Structure 1
Amino acid sequence: MTDKAPFAADPTQSRGRLHRETISTFRSPFQRDRDRIIHSSAFRRLKHKTQVFIEHEGDYYRTRLTHSIEVAQVARTLAGSLGLNTDLAEAIALAHDLGHTPFGHTGEDALSELMEPYGGFDHNAQALRIVTALERHYADFDGLNLSWETLEGIAKHNGPIILPDGTPKKGAIPAALAEYNAQHDLWLHTHASAEAQVAAIADDVAYNHHDLHDGLRSGLFTEEDLMALPITGPAFAEVDALYPGLDKMRRRHEALRRVFGVMVEDVIAVAHHRLEAAQPKDADAIRFLGTTIIRFSDKLFRELKVIRQFLFTRMYRAPRVVAMRAEVTEVVRDLFTLFMQDPTRLPDEWRDDVARARDEAALGRIVADYVAGMTDRFALQEHSRLLGSDMVRFTRYIVSG
Structure 2
Amino acid sequence: MTIDESALGFGSGARAVWASDPEKSRGRLHAEETSRTRSEFQRDRDRIIHTTAFRRLKHKTQVFVAHEGDHFRTRLTHTIEVAQIARALARALRIDEDLAEGVALVHDFGHTPFGHTGEDALDELLKDHGGFDHNAQSLRVVTQLERRYAAFDGLNLTWESLEGLVKHNGPLTDESGNGLDGPVPQPILDYCARQDLHIATFASLEAQVAAIADDIAYNTHDIDDGLRSGLLQLEMLEEVPFLCELLREVKDRYPELEQSRMIHEIMRRQITLMVEDVIAVAQAKLAHLKPRNADDIRSAGQAFARFSPDLQDADRSIKSFLYANLYRHPDVMRVREQAAGIVRDLFDAYVRDPSLMGGHWRTGVSGFDEAQICRRVADYLAGMTDNYAVKQHRTLFDRTPDLR
Structures share fold, TM-score greater than 0.5: yes
Of residues 123, 126, 138 in structure 2, which corresponds to 1:115? 126
**What is the distance in 2 between the residues matched to 1:80 and 1:8?**
11
Report the equivalent of 1:100: 111
Contact (CA 8 Å) 1:270, 1:294: kept in 2 or not? yes
- 1:55 Cα deviation from its structure 2 partner: 8.8
* Matched position secondary structure for 1:310: helix
2:241 aligns to what SS in structure 1? coil
Q: Does 1:36 align with 2:47?
A: yes
Say whether the 8 Å CA contact 1:52–1:316 is kept in structure 2: yes
Are 1:360 and 2:370 an aligned pair?
yes
2:56 aligned with 1:13? no
Query: Does structure 1 residue 309 correspond to structure 2 residue 320?
Result: yes
Deviations 1:231-274 (A, max 9, x none): 22111221222223122222221122111111111111111111
How many Å separate the matches in 1 of 2:349 and 2:232?
39
C-alpha distance in 2 between matches for 1:106 and 1:268 = 33
CA contact (8 A) 1:106 1:325 kept: yes
Specify the code of the residue in structure 2 equivalent to 1:93.
Answer: A
Confirm or deny that 1:381 pairs with 2:391: yes
Alignment of 1:97-246 (within 5 A): 97-246=108-257
Output the CA distance in 2 between the equivalents of 1:54 and 1:305: 25
Query: How much has 1:53 moved relative to structure 2?
Result: 3.6
**2:271 matches 1:267:** no
Residue 355 (structure 1) shift = 4.0
The match for 1:69 is 80
Counterpart contact for 1:136–1:143, Cα < 8 Å: yes
TM-score (norm 2): 0.94
Structure 1 contact 54–321 (Cα < 8 Å) conserved: no
Check whether the contact 2:19–2:95 (CA below 8 A) recurs between aligned residues.
Answer: yes
Q: Distance in 2 between matches of 1:55 and 1:48?
A: 7
Native 8 Å contact 1:232 1:256 kept in 2: no
Structure 1 segments of 4+ aligned residues over 6 angstroms from their partners: none
Q: Is the 8 A contact 1:230 1:307 kept in 2?
A: no
The number of equivalent residue pairs is: 393
Structure 1 segments unaligned to the other structure (5+ residues):
none
Indicate if the aligned counterparts of 2:63 and 2:222 stay in contact, CA closer than 8 A. Answer: no
The whole-number CA distance in structure 2 between the counterparts of 1:380 and 1:32 is 35
After superposition, give the CA deviation of every residue in 1:309-335 in whole Å (9 maximum; x if it has no partner). Answer: 111111000011111111111111111
SS of the aligned residue for 1:231 comes to: helix
Aligned to 1:371: 381
The one-letter amino acid paired with 2:265 is E
Secondary structure at the counterpart of residue 112 of structure 1: helix
Point out which structure has higher relative CO (alpha carbons under 8 A, 6+ apart).
1
Q: CA RMSD in A?
A: 1.4
**Is this contact kept in 2: 1:81–1:268, CA < 8 A?**
yes
Equivalence for 1:328: 339
Distance 1:227 1:160 in 2: 36
Q: Is the 8 A contact 2:59 2:66 kept in 1?
A: no
Tell me how far 1:58 sits from its aligned partner.
2.9
Contact 1:54 1:218 in 2 (8 A): no
For 1:91 and 1:163, the matched residues in 2 are separated by 26
Helix, strand or coil for the counterpart of 2:365? helix
Match of 1:324, SS state, is helix
Q: Distance in 2 between matches of 1:20 and 1:83?
A: 28
Please, which moves more after superposition, 232-241 or 51-60? 51-60
Q: What amino acid sits opposite 2:391 in the alignment?
A: Q
Moved more, 100-109 or 230-239: 230-239
* TM-score, normalised by the number of residues in structure 1: 0.95
Q: Secondary structure at the match of 1:354?
A: coil
**2:62/2:78 contact within 8 Å kept:** no
Counterpart Cα distance in 2 of 1:227 and 1:219? 16
